[in-house]
A and B are shown apart, each in its own frame.
Chain A
């Protein structure tokens, strides 16, 4: 419950953030909503001698919806995602997923950027962003660079973001067709036993594109190219869904924990993906 002592900074702009990161290197961490970092600090599992609060850095809390893409500032909260009417129309999978993340209090504080940058495989947005083929923009001493969500996750808590970089925004190609975020969890606020993000398009009764990613079934989120491909060109009948599930099961690598043994997680992953595909298809 009692975090170790640290120095606190609340810079007004990104230049201020980057200079603190540069000065203190590994000893400095940025904090967004604080709802993963502070709990880890309270358990002394995260040691952060220099804590940089991003709340006063401007320009990171906007949602911009263009003709072909959506740009979400890293400091946009889960509550903002849920409350944003136009986002609810243009990319309804985002609020469907956000409503399955944590609880009301946490959603007022927890941010999209923190969720995707955290690197905990339990987080829901990483898989969702892989499903949507989002791009993460990070800024560091040498300027900005873009990293595909599908290339961002290397291992648990290990991502392509360097220690001196800050994730500033998420860019999502405007999704089309049917969608579903299905999550099996033990209770409100729990990380998934298994979850699936599905986006699917239909033309004349046939599936023309599909994108499938899984949450908390490996030490990273899993975009399953094989599962996605198994649906394209089919009528998404039982055989196609079965093929997609089989391909997905080949891509995940769950571990046993108090959410269940590996065999159970594989079983639940199949059930959840079947439900997600079925619901997404019904909405396509």
Chain B
């Protein structure tokens, strides 16, 4: 039982190939196998969303998917959204609007927010709160996360308008 499987992923634009047991959860693949340690583990009941990544255009809690299920798929983590010298508008806005404190939920929050703004570029406060409801934060009280996402949305919409 539990023969290792040959798994191919594309993570943040980079092809990855490895052998893994079927029971390997994707969050462990990312963190321990690929050393992509931005996505975090905050629970074991699929509530907190700290492990959120984008898989083939969906926000997914990577603690609730086996690497085997993700075979052949494209994955984006916080590391693929922007780096210290090349911040995504959401990363910039979380910094400017104090949308984080300990930073443990932040990779999942921002990854989820990229997808939220893709689907709804002009969300209301209520839509932001509902659209981020799969991500728990223990530090901020959410208020500044909402502000950060609002600010990023304005920034991104203005940039899009300027480009047109």
CB-based contact A5/B2 at 8 Å: yes
Distance in angstroms from B37 CB to nearest chain A CB is 17
Residue B133 CB within 8 A of the other chain: yes
Residue B101 CB within 8 A of the other chain: no
Considering the complex, give the chain A residue whose CB is closest to the CB of B68: A8
Binds B, one of A33-41, A146-154, A223-231: A33-41
CB-based contact A8/B66 at 8 Å: yes
Q: How far apart sit A53 and B44, CA to CA, in the bound complex (Å)? A: 21
CB-based contact A7/B133 at 8 Å: no
CB-based contact A5/B46 at 8 Å: no
Residue B69 CB within 8 A of the other chain: yes
> Which A residues are in CB contact (< 8 Å) with B68?
8, 10, 53
Known: A5-B2, A53-B69. A105 touches B23 (CB 8 A): no
Distance in angstroms from B155 CB to nearest chain A CB is 22
CB-based contact A106/B23 at 8 Å: no
Binds A, one of B52-60, B79-87, B89-97, B144-152: B52-60
> Which A residues are in CB contact (< 8 Å) with B112?
104-105
Q: Interface residues of B, CB < 8 Å — how many? A: 32
Q: Interface residues of A, CB < 8 Å — how many? A: 30
CB-based contact A39/B134 at 8 Å: no
CB-based contact B22/A7 at 8 Å: yes
Considering the complex, give the chain B residue whose CB is closest to the CB of A108: B58
Q: How far apart sit A58 and B61, CA to CA, in the bound complex (Å)? A: 24
Distance in angstroms from A58 CB to nearest chain B CB is 16
Q: Which of A39, A51, A108 has the most CB of B within 10 A?
A: A108
Residue B5 CB within 8 A of the other chain: yes
Q: How far apart sit A43 and B1, CA to CA, in the bound complex (Å)? A: 20
Considering the complex, give the chain B residue whose CB is closest to the CB of A33: B64
Beyond A8-B66, A34-B69, A108-B59, list 7 extra A-B contacts (CB 8 Å).
Answer: A1-B41, A3-B23, A4-B23, A7-B3, A10-B68, A34-B65, A108-B60
Report which A residues bind B (CB closer than 8 A): 1-8, 10, 34-35, 38-39, 41-43, 49, 51, 53, 55, 79, 102-106, 108-109, 188-189
Residue contacts A-B, CB under 8 angstroms, 20 given: A1-B63, A5-B1, A5-B21, A6-B2, A6-B22, A7-B1, A7-B2, A7-B3, A8-B68, A34-B64, A34-B66, A35-B64, A41-B23, A42-B44, A51-B22, A55-B69, A103-B134, A104-B133, A106-B61, A188-B134
